[in-house]
Amino acid sequence: MNIMKQPELEELIRKSLEEFHLKRINGLSTLKLRTVLRKKNPYLFRAVGVQKASEIVSEILRAHVTSSDETIFGNAFFEPIAQICSGGRVSDSEGVDVIIETDTVYKAIAVKSGPNIFNSSAAKRQDQEFRSLASRLLKIHKQFDPLLGLGYSRRFGEPTKDRSYRIRSGQAFWEELTGDPDFYLKLIDLMRDYPVQHRIEFEKEWGKAINRFEYDFLINFGNEDGSINWDKLLIFNSGKEKPRWVKVTATAVIEEQDDSSEDLDDEQEEV
C-alpha cells in the first residue's frame, strides 16, 4: 500500500473530482432527447397525469443523471484513488481495475461505486471475468485473491460455491487497501468546497439541457394548442416502424429517421 500524506491525498481527491465533473458535464452536453426517450414509459407519464413537457423533460434528465453519475463517480473518483492509494497497478484484464501483486499473492480488484445497480446479471458477469483471469494465471503459482470493492455501503461476503470472489465495502474496503481505518472519512472530509465550485458550471449545462430537451419535445410531440400529442409520443417510443425525428437548426427544419439504438443494457450500468 502507498501511504499518502494529507496534502497529496487532498490533491488526488481534487483532481478526481475535477475528472468526475468534467465527464458528467460532457455527458449532459451531448445527451439527446430521442436517445433517452425511447427507454421511458409513456403510459406511466400519462397515467400519473403529466400535462407539461417540462415535467417529462425534468424527469428524464434527473433519472439519467442520477443513474450515470453513479457509474461515472466509480470510474473517475473511486477507481483511481483505489489504485494509487493501494500502491497497485492498473489492470489490463476485462472486469478488473486494480492489481496488487506480492511474492505469493495476486489480488485482482474490481472497483465499483456501490451496490445499488449491481444486479444478478452483473454479478454473474463479474464472476466469469474473475474466473477467466484466474485460469490465465495458473502458471504463476500464486494465490489468486479476487475482490469486489464497493466505495460505499456495508456489503460483506466471502466466496461461495456460486461466487469466486470476496466482497468488501465502505470502511472495510478502504482499510484493506490503505491500512487506515479512517480513510473512508478522509475521502469525504478532504473534498473541501471543490464540489460546490464545480456545481455552478454543472447547473449552467443543466439549464441548457432542459431548454434543449423541452424545445425538441414540443417540436416533435406538441400540439398546436400546447398540449402533448400522446399518440405521436407512443408511436415514437413503441411503434414497429422507425419514426421520423424533427430537428430544427438555425436555418432549416430537418426531418430525420430516428436511428438511436434501443440497448436496454445501457440502463443496467455497473456500480
pLDDT surpassing 90 at residue 144 = yes
Least confident of 36-50, 180-194, 226-240, 253-267: 253-267
pLDDT band at 3 (very low <50, low <70, confident <90, very high): confident
Q: pTM of the predicted model, to two decimals?
A: 0.86
**What pLDDT is recorded for position 264?**
45
pLDDT of residue 257: 66
Please determine, for residue 44, whether its predicted confidence score (pLDDT) is greater than 60: yes
* Average pLDDT of the residues of the chain: 91
pLDDT in tens, 20-42: 999 999 999 999 999 999 999 99
Per-residue HEC secondary structure of the chain comes to CCCCCHHHHHHHHHHHHHHHHHHHHHHHHHCCHHHHHCCCCHHHHHHCCCCCHHHHHHHHHHHHHHHHHHHHHHHHHHHHHHHHHHCCEECCCCCCCEEEECCCEEEEEEEECCCCCCCHHHHHHHHHHHHHHHHHCHHHCCEEEEEEEECCCCCCECCCCCCCCEEEEHHHHHHHHHCCCCHHHHHHHCCCCHHHHHHHHHHHHHHHHHHHHHHHHHHHHECCCCCECHHHHHHHHHCCCCCEEEEECCCCEEEEECCCCCCHHHHCCCC
What is the percent of the chain where pLDDT is above 70? 90
pLDDT of residue 67: 87
Amino acid 271: pLDDT: 42
